[in-house]
Amino acid sequence: MNDIDSAAHRGSERDLDKIDRRILRVLQADGRISNLKLAETVHLSPTAVLERVKRLTREGYILGYEARLNPLKLGAGLLVFVEILLDRTVHDVMDTFKAAVQVRPEILEAHLVAGGFDYLLKTRVADMAAYREFIGSVIWTLPGVRETRTYAVMEEVKNSSLLPV
């Protein structure tokens, strides 16, 4: 079980009340909100809010905080999804593939999926020339890769990590 699965499992051990859900919604929209402002927003004392946030973190509802960066400003303007079909779907090949994917910063997400291929990768590179280099020097050298399909994103219509709470 990975960290997210473990956290989700731990989190399912107790129900969230309305205030917990409100805290999660506010933090999800603004992770940098001060404890005082959060307390005012949810109508609790700062001490009570801080204890709730600590508990929500401890129980795995809150996994962490991060800044959303502008990929265009950082030379990673091309978003590309890549379907990966492995030559064999046995544990040793899959484990080796997963380990190799972890160390590549261009690969933002990797998902084992059900369907006509094995993994879906979300990648970011500077442009199509950079992607061409990346597919040849990285993707095709990943362990067990038999076939790929590339989907270059022409327009990001929605890009959100907000969960319904």
**pLDDT tens-digit profile of 101-158?**
999 999 999 999 999 999 999 999 999 999 999 999 999 999 999 999 999 999 999 9
What are the extents of the domains in the chain? Answer: 3-58, 78-152
Could you tell me which of 85, 73, 76 has the C-alpha nearest to residue 131?
76
Report the alpha-carbon distance of residue 7 to residue 5 in Å, rounded: 5
Could you tell me which of 111, 127, 119 has the C-alpha nearest to residue 147?
119
pLDDT > 90? residue 29:
yes
**Residue 52 DSSP code:** H
Q: Which CATH architecture has domain 78-152?
A: 2-Layer Sandwich (3.30)
Please give the pLDDT value at position 15. Answer: 87
Query: Given phi > 0 = left and psi -120 to 50 = alpha, else beta, which region is 119?
Result: beta
Please give the pLDDT value at position 131. Answer: 98
Q: Are 85 and 142 in contact (CB under 8 A)?
A: no
CATH number of 3-58: 1.10.10.10
pLDDT > 50? residue 7:
no
Please give the pLDDT value at position 11. Answer: 44
Q: Is the dihedral of CA 6, 10, 15, 16 positive or negative?
A: negative
Give per-residue pLDDT as tens, 76-92.
Answer: 999 999 999 999 999 99
